[in-house]
Amino acid sequence: MRIVLLGAPGAGKGTQAKKLIEKFGIPQISTGDLLRAAVAEGTELGKEAKSYMDKGELVPDSVVLGMVEERLGRDDCKDGYILDGFPRNTAQAEALDEMLDKMGMPLDAALNVDVPTEDLMKRLTGRRTCEQCGQMYNVYFNPPAEEGKCDKCGGTLFQRDDDKEETITKRLEVYREQTEPLIDYYRQKGILKTVTGTGAIDEIFTRVVETLGAA
C-alpha cells in the first residue's frame, strides 16, 4: 500500500498513520517528524528548518524533497509507505510523482482526512506528546489519567512549539492556500479517497481501512 495522507493540521493524520503502521507493517514517513528530529539534533538542516517551523510557514521545497527522496530509497519502503504531511504544495506533489515514477512505486491512493475547521483549533491547542515514547494526547478529547504524564510510559508530556495559538492560525492559513489545492490535484488523477475525521479514533480508523480497501 502506497499512500499519501492529506488533511489540515490537527486532522489526525499522524494518529491514523500510526495505526496503519501497526496494521500493515509499512513505514510512516512524516516530514514534520523528520524535520523535528533534525531540529533536535541541531544539524544545519534543522537550524534552517526551525526558523520556518516556528513561524508556521513551510520549509523550502529543496530541503524537504531531498529528505523524502533519501527516506523513500530505503529498503523498508519496498512494500509500501505512508506519506504524512508531504506533499504540502503542488510543486512538492509534482516532484513526488516524478520521484516515484523513477523508483517504479507510484501512489495507490491519496487519503483526505476531512475535519471541520471549528474542530481543528481545539485539537491543535489541546495536543500534547510524550517526550519519551511519542504517544499523543489531547487535553480536551483524550486526556492522560494524570495531568502532564504519559499513561503508557510515565514520561512527561509537552506541547509542540508550533502548537501555540499564533502559529496555529498561520499554519491553518498556509494549509488553505498551499495544501488544500492538492485535494483537486489527486482527484484529477483519480486516486483521491475521503474519510470524515470526526468521532472516536478507532471509529475513524475503521472508516480509513474500509475506504482504502476499496482502493
Nearest distance in Å: CB 1, ligand AMP: 20
- Nearer residue to ligand AMP within complex by CB, 13 or 193: 13
71 is an interface residue for ligand AMP by CB under 6 A: no
> Which residues, numbered 154-213, are part of the site for ligand AMP (CB under 6 A)?
162, 171
- In angstroms, give the least distance from the CB of 147 to ligand AMP: 24
Q: What is the 3-state secondary structure (H, E, C) of 133-193?
A: CCCEEECCCECCCCCCECCCCCCEEECCHHHCHHHHHHHHHHHHHHHCHHHHHHHHCCCEE
Rounded distance between C-alpha atoms, residue 10 and residue 117, angstroms: 10
Angstrom CA distances, 25 to 78, 84, 126, 172, stand at 12, 15, 29, 31
Site for ligand AMP in 1-60 (CB under 6 A): 9, 31-32, 35, 52-53, 56-59
Angle at 89 between CA 87 and CA 92, to 5 degrees: 55
Comparing every residue's Cβ against ligand AMP, the nearest one is 32
**Which CB, 123 or 214, lies closer to ligand AMP?**
123
Q: Apex CA 29: angle with CA 149 and CA 10, to 5°?
A: 55
* Catalytic residue status for 71: no
Choose the binding region for ligand AMP from 16-24, 82-90, 115-123, 197-205 (rule: CB under 6 A). Answer: 82-90
Residue 125: which of 189, 79, 171 has the closest Cα? 171
The reply to whether 13 belongs to the active site is: yes
Closest distance to ligand AMP from the beta carbon of 214 (Å): 26
In the complex, the residues that contact ligand AMP under the rule CB under 6 A are 9, 31-32, 35, 52-53, 56-59, 64, 85-86, 88, 92, 162, 171
Residues noted as catalytic: 13, 88, 127, 160, 171
